[in-house]
Structure 1
Amino acid sequence: MINYVEYKTDVLVVGGGLAGISAAMEAAKNNVNVTLVVADKIFSGSSFNPYTWGLGIIAPLNDADKVDLVENIYEVGCGLVEKNLSYTLVNNIEDRINDLQDVGVEFKKPDNLMGDNTLIPCFDKKHRKWYGFTFEQSKPKLYQQIKSLNIKIFERHKILKLIKGDDTFAGAIAINENNQIIYFSAASVVIASGGFGGLYKHNLNTPDINGEGLFLALSAGCELINLEFIQFIPGYIKPKYKTIMAERTFKFASLEDPQGNNILEKYLPEEINAKEVLIERSTHGPFTSRLKSKYVDIALFKECLSNKDFQGVKLKYNIDVSTLDGLLIKEYFNWLEKKQGIMYNNEITIAPFAHASNGGIKINRKAETNVAGIYAAGETTGGMHGADRIGGLSTANALVFGTIAGNSASLYAKKYRNHVDKAFVKRQLSSFINNMKVSSVDPNSIMIKVKDLMWENGNVVRNEEKLEYSIKEIKKMEKYFDYKYDLSYIPNIAKHIQAYNYVKLSLILLNVMLLRRESRGPHYREDYPYQISDFEKYIVVSQGQDGMVKYTFKSTNKDSQ
């Protein structure tokens, strides 16, 4: 006998960041019952990242600028961009900003946009409209709106499996912090659970951002795209772990080993000028293989690997950077001192941290996946950015496609009400438990090992030998999951499932990194250091009914709109 609680809703939303909240609010406006399920707490994930002062959102200056922005997204994305998604994104940003302002969210706005070069977005070539989104001011306004729309919130509930009936979405199995099983019966679902940075030892994500939403979608038949493209940005090891560095200050910094030696002199090719690459590195936050500034990140990463006891590189400034002009610099150092208690001249150690995922669940412009009733939005999706992503568009993406997903999911729910009976629910729960595998090894130790391997071998610098080594080591961990138990015997089944998902998803990521035998955007293969035109193709990941994962190269449609 399986003890469970069934909860019925029309639209189920998974994820408590801006994409999930936007989806839930939009769906509720269409007069359907909406339930928001979050693994931790509401206002989580990259949208409410506690490791920086706030988030910048960009928008086109005018209609003519929309075309320019889409073209630059394509260029920065190294051609691996679904242009129809980019057009949808760019055409809707301003409306979504207005929606937030209508519910009382206030944005920081520059006094002199065109005169402040710190507001030129990462990887962009010109100024755009810029809005500063701050966490503490926005939370109460959004929460008030959520409550007014009667959206039900389930915090600390982990979705374990998406259920299909007749190849369409039918519900989801979840577990709460008390190991109570819940079956959410719903007509449609929006997956907005964020990226997969949590699979890395050093990451700038909250603990709930670990890619499990992608694995849920894949297991339900959805396709994944562009998974090899994940952003790495410098973050603090010390004095306060997981603090984002202000990349605009690189040109005023030196990078040193524990003995005070400049590390760039050790790793830069002879023809590369250290000062020039530091100046270029000051124009963007994430690592990219497209620019000569890549040598800064490569040196940083290799130095971290060479001295694992120290685990980082010393960051020293040669001027008082906290007094420099520029809104982003002033906001950052004001936050750093007041909220983090750190001064610019403190002893600072940095390393490359996994940050945002540029790939994920494959969707169309209506936020539909290839499985009826399953929608996705935000960082858990891929295709609208490509390899590299222009700064300020991740949050915009969450707002735009979160709203679209909520609207699409609610319209679907109105048309196809869920009428599954209790017998169906019991069969699904029984099948899930009977086929569930738990580990003979402590799941926490498995996840730590996966994170170590991903950080060391799937980081800024990748090569065939390291990737194959990690694949071999993680495949060994698959064999740990050979025990079948009834839920009543497992004190923390969620951890076992999480560890299993870590193993499966990390293998997928490592395999797509191995398959892309070139360097493109944040994917740098030191054994294939150049971008190759023959690889201007997506790697699409799917899973058959037999559970086998399939990797397919698919051509891009350059002119799609």
Structure 2
Amino acid sequence: DGEAVGAVGIDVESGEIVLVESSAVILAAGGLTKLYKRNSASINMGGEAFSLALHAGAELIDMEFVQFFPIGHLAPRMVGMDPIMWDPFRYKVGGRLLNGNFEEFIHNYGASDSGTYTARRDVASYAIYKEVEEGRGSPHGGVWLSFDHISEDVMKEKFGPMIGRLAKNGIDLQKSAIEVSPIAHYHMGGIRVDTQMKTRVPGLYAAGEAVGGANGATRLSGNAIPEAFVFGERAGRFSAAFAKGRSRMPIEEAAATAIISEPKFQLKKGAKPDGSATALMTELQSLMWDKVGLFRTGEKLEQALLRIRTMKKDDLRNIIIPDNAPFNQALLDWYELRAGLLCAESVTLAAINRTESRGAHQREDITEASPEFERNQTVELSGDELVTGWAEVPRISYTLEAKQAAVI
């Protein structure tokens, strides 16, 4: 009847289908930045929340806006450390960005660090992207970040215990530069909700980075953590109130089982995993990075959309999955790929429709913002097809009152 009544999943250990009845459901499975070749995401940030929302009948919003962090770690290999750790140190200590020829280049892009190396993030991202595109990148396709002009005493003072952790990764900033590159970091788009975190599906709520529309075309630094706290509290409070006044509805087992058993015809007794889903996910990540990444064009976006739809229609259906009930990683990879392809299609389709440059959506073929597109774009699933639409941006009139800050 178009209402959220629970969830269906797979017990990985046993391979059994699990039904969970609930009077309300909250989707809080994060964003989709894992879909890009270079990203700061955990391994489970592949857009599953958005795929689940679409299949449940909810709308997505602002899917074209993906935020890229300019100074992400690229090489050498680093374990147990944040890939976006370098940007604060670049500002704090004065790290120099150098191209593959070990030349400073920021000044060639209309910015001057004047010895302080504090170029804006968008300028740094564009400059790095262009240096690599024009063949002046570092060996791994980024640029160099160098601290070799900073004294050892200053480095120890500013980096503190990080020096020891870097040493365990074989990195000595006094002796060699590290390679950095823009990386996918955050997604402003997501599930469309109201102020109570409700979707348009009764009983279905969302929280955290799974929510779209809260940050506009780009996110201010520091918003993500309070966003998780505020949206999480509100989703919990309002979903609990909704559930309290609603009788739990039984899940139709046959219908629920059919939803999750979609790849059943691809399960083969005795088959060996061939890594097809993993290979396709790797291809998808490269495709999103190359065609739907930092700077876009209509031609690149159309090429990406065509390949994504072919992968979704043909390649996904041709994957052979071993019929091993317990710990069937090949089956889990298939589900992740299915969700990733739907999300990638949503981002790409929305980017094609927004024929302007705004915020994190930058098109090299249309470089200016247009008043016509000062609107939110929505995405929904109609049958097997994605359908987009436009919605006016809610505008709230309010006045901020001056208050005395507490002295701590």
1:451 aligns with 2:285: yes
Q: Report the CA distance shift for 1:197/1:534 in structure 2 as closer, same or farther (over 3 A).
A: same
Instruction: Say which SS state the counterpart of residue 146 (structure 2) adopts.
Output: strand
CA-to-partner distance for each residue in 1:513-555, whole Å, 9 max, x for gaps?
12111111111111111222111011111112x2221111212
How many angstroms apart in 2 are the aligned matches of 1:334 and 1:324? 8
**Structure 2: how far apart are the matches of 1:347 and 1:484?**
43
In 2, Cα distance between equivalents of 1:473 and 1:278? 44
In structure 2, the residue corresponding to 1:527 is in which secondary structure? coil
* Pairing 1:239–2:76 present: yes
Query: Are 1:467 and 2:301 counterparts?
Result: yes
1:399 match:
229
Asked if structure 2 preserves the Cα contact closer than 8 Å seen for 1:257 and 1:313, the reply is yes
2:344 match: 506
SS of the equivalent of 1:217 reads helix
Shift of 1:371: 0.6
Quickly say closer, same or farther: Cα 1:229–1:494, change in 2 above 3 A.
Answer: same
C-alpha distance in structure 2 between counterparts of 1:222 and 1:520, whole Å: 25
Give 1:264 deviation, angstroms: 3.7
Instruction: Provide the rounded CA distance (Å) in 1 between the counterparts of 2:103 and 2:298.
Output: 31
Match of 1:559? 396
Q: 1:187 to 1:235 in 2, by over 3 A?
A: same
How many residues get paired? Answer: 374
Structure-2 residue corresponding to 1:539 = 377
Structure-2 separation of matches of 1:365 and 1:261? 49
- How far did 1:474 drift? 1.9
Distance in 1, Cα, partners of 2:201 & 2:386? 17
Aligned to 1:523: 361
1:62 counterpart residue number: none
Q: Specify which of 2, 5, 10 is matched with residue 175 of structure 1.
A: 10
In the alignment, is the contact (CA less than 8 A) between 1:175 and 1:494 conserved in 2?
no
Report what 1:187 is aligned to: 23
Aligned position for 1:254: 96
Distance 1:443 1:199, change over 3 A: same
- In the TM superposition, what is the alpha-carbon distance from 1:277 to its structure 2 partner? 11
Structure 1 residues 436 and 504: alpha-carbon distance in aligned structure 2, compared to 1, 3 A threshold: farther
Partner of 1:229: 65
Which AA in structure 1 matches 2:394? Answer: N
- Inter-CA distance 334–177: structure 2 relative to 1 (3 Å threshold): farther
TM-score, structure 1 normalization: 0.61
Deviation digits for residues 250-305 of structure 1 (CA, Å, limit 9, x no counterpart): 4633322333233446xx35xx24336975535xxxx4xxxxxx332112123344
Aligned to 1:135: none
Amino acid paired to 1:316: S
Does the CA-based 8 Å contact 1:249-1:321 persist in structure 2?
Answer: no
**Cα deviation, residue 240, structure 1:** 3.8
Give a deviation string over 1:25-79, Cα, whole Å, max 9, x none: xxxxxxxxxxxxxxxxxxxxxxxxxxxxxxxxxxxxxxxxxxxxxxxxxxxxxxx
Cα offset for 1:336?
2.9
Question: Is the Cα contact below 8 Å between 1:225 and 1:362 reproduced in 2?
Answer: yes
Matches within 5 A, 1:65-214: 166-178=1-13, 179-214=15-50
Q: 1:409 to 1:466 in 2, by over 3 A?
A: same
RMSD: 3.0
1:434 shift after superposition: 5.0
CA contact (8 A) 2:375 2:392 kept: yes
> SS of the residue aligned with 1:502?
helix
Instruction: Give the distance between the partners of 2:196 and 2:306, measured in 1 at CA.
Output: 39
Q: Distance in 2 between matches of 1:456 and 1:370?
A: 34
Match of 1:352 among 182, 195, 217: 182
> Secondary structure in 1 aligned to 2:183?
strand
1:418 maps to 248
AA in 1 matched with 2:99: D
Aligned equivalents of 2:19, 2:101: Cα separation in 1: 57
Q: Does 1:481 align with 2:302?
A: no
Aligned equivalent of 1:430, options 242, 254, 258:
258
**2:405 matched residue in structure 1:** none
Report the TM-score when normalising by structure 2: 0.82
Task: Give per-residue Cα distances to partners, 1:352-411, cap 9 Å, x unaligned.
Answer: 111111121111111111111111011111122111222222100100110111111212
Q: Give yes or no for contact 1:278–1:296 (8 Å, CA) kept in 2.
A: no
Structure 1 range deviating more: 456-465 or 309-318: 309-318
2:112 corresponds to which of 249, 262, 274: 274
Structure 1: 5+ residue stretches without partners = 1-165, 288-293
Specify whether residues 308 and 275 from structure 1 end up closer, same or farther in structure 2 by C-alpha distance, changes over 3 A only: closer
Query: Deviation per CA, 1:218-247, whole angstroms, max 9, x where unpaired?
Result: 111111111122211121112344621432
Q: Is the contact made by 1:320 and 1:344 (CA closer than 8 Å) also made in structure 2?
A: no
CA distance in 2, matches of 1:485, 1:253: 49
The answer as to whether partners of 1:250 and 1:281 remain within 8 angstroms in 2 is no
Counterpart for residue 337 of structure 1 = 163
**Structure 2 stretches lacking a partner, 5+ long:** 268-273, 399-408
